[in-house]
Amino acid sequence: MGCVGICGSDVHYLVNGRIGDFIVKEPMIIGHESSGTIAKLGNNVNNLKVGDRVAIEPGVPCRTCSFCKEGRYNLCKDIVFLATPPVHGSLRKYYKHAADFCFKLPEHVSLEEGALLEPLSVGVHACKRANIGIGSKVLILGAGPIGLVVLLVAKAMGANKVVITDLVQDRLNVAKSLGADEIYLVKRDVSEKDQIKSIHEIFGGEPDKTIDASGAQSSIRLAILATKSGGTAVLVGMGAPEVQIPLIDALIREVDIRGVFRYVNDYADALALVASGKVNVKPLITHNFKIEETVKAFDTSKSPESGAIKVMIHLK
């Protein structure tokens, strides 16, 4: 293994011991944002050779169910996904993975970038689900790692104006430095109606695509209410299992609500964005640690004061 990034879900399992029905019942190795160098090959592997540097797509599906056969393998019920109990993750010196879910990195793409293809693929999938293209006006709710990768991909896909919101000014400052056209600081004491008014003023109109990357009920409501009639609200953030939303408003204004579950056939596109220089993911890495410093790495990742966006663990 080369690099493993820490994801919010890793921290969540460590701190809370579960995400929904996925419960950590025994000690579990964490890590699913990863890259490495091929040390050994299985008998029938002919797409890779020893010494190749690869990014690892962490979910291996059954390949035989109807979802897999239809090309929507992210929906496979039997997908084996790293660091999702009871499946161990990749934060270890050596790790074995299906060769067809390993993506060879060109020489000029680093192992750090390889690990970052994982969250970037979530951004690619979200932007595809939103049908972002030339001229799109995009509102992103939440400027954590996922909101930020959505921002990078939306710009690369030709979005004309991208506005991003957060409750935390520091996160918005990072978003601005990564190319957000405008930022909007959400204040809890401002009414929903006034927030929508301000967002429309910032756009000089209404966004035609909104992507929620926070999971907060207030944001999900905004995703529907602030989006132009006929537009699309894409939900990536996962918070409470049930939320109250203005469904009839979505219905009468034909605002499409679309879900996102990880990614599917997006790794190659994420790699192409990075390899071509259209997307620069390097500024997302705020902290680097050796594997021996893993405890410190997790402390940094979970501390709001650290200003961490992406914490990267290096195995060599």
Q: Cα separation of 116 and 312, whole Å?
A: 9
Q: Which stretch binds ligand NAD (CB under 6 A): 20-28, 139-147, 267-275, 287-295?
A: 139-147
Beta-carbon count within 10 A of 116 CB: 27
Gyration radius (Cα) of the chain, Å: 19
Supply the minimum distance, in Å, between the C-beta of residue 83 and ligand 572. Answer: 9
* Residue 215, binding choice from ligand NAD, Zn ion, ligand 572, none, Cβ under 5 to 8 Å by partner class: ligand NAD
Q: Is 20 in the site for ligand 572 (CB under 6 A)?
A: yes
Tokens of residue 272, six digits: 């192409």
CB of 19 to ligand 572, least distance (A): 4
Q: Which of residues 74-113 bind ligand 572 (CB under 6 A)?
A: 84
- Which tokens go with 299? 């402390």
Q: Is 218 in the site for ligand NAD (CB under 6 A)?
A: yes
- 133 contact, one of Zn ion, ligand 572, ligand NAD, none, CB 5-8 Å limit per kind: none
* Contacts of 242 by beta carbon, 8 Å cutoff, 6+ apart: none
> Strand pairing partners for 140?
164, 211
Other CB atoms within 10 A of residue 24 CB = 18
Three-state SS at 247: helix
Amino acid at site 158 = G
Q: Is the CB of residue 213 less than 8 Å from the CB of residue 163?
A: no
What CA dihedral angle connects 264, 265, 268 and 270, to 10 degrees? Answer: -30
Contact region with Zn ion (CB under 5 A), list: 3-11, 107-115, 177-185, 220-228: 3-11
- Contact between 118 and ligand NAD per CB under 6 A: no
233-292 residues near ligand NAD, rule: CB under 6 A: 236-239, 260-262
User: Which residue number is nearest to ligand NAD in terms of Cβ?
Assistant: 144
Beta bridge partners of 233: 210, 257
Query: Which 9-68 residues touch ligand NAD, going by CB under 6 A?
Result: none
Beta carbons of 211 and 138 less than 8 angstroms apart: yes
Q: Which of residues 191-220 bind ligand 572 (CB under 6 A)?
A: none
Whole-angstrom Cα distance, residue 181 to residue 58? 32
Give the one residue of 8, 179, 246, 307 binding ligand 572; rule: CB under 6 A. Answer: 8
Interaction partner, residue 245 (ligand 572, Zn ion, ligand NAD, none; CB < 5-8 Å by kind): none
Residues that bind ligand 572 (CB under 6 A): 7-9, 19-20, 22, 32, 84, 118, 122, 238, 262
Residues that bind Zn ion (CB under 5 A): 7, 9
Residues that bind ligand NAD (CB under 6 A): 8, 122, 141-147, 165-168, 171, 186, 213-216, 218-219, 236-239, 260-262
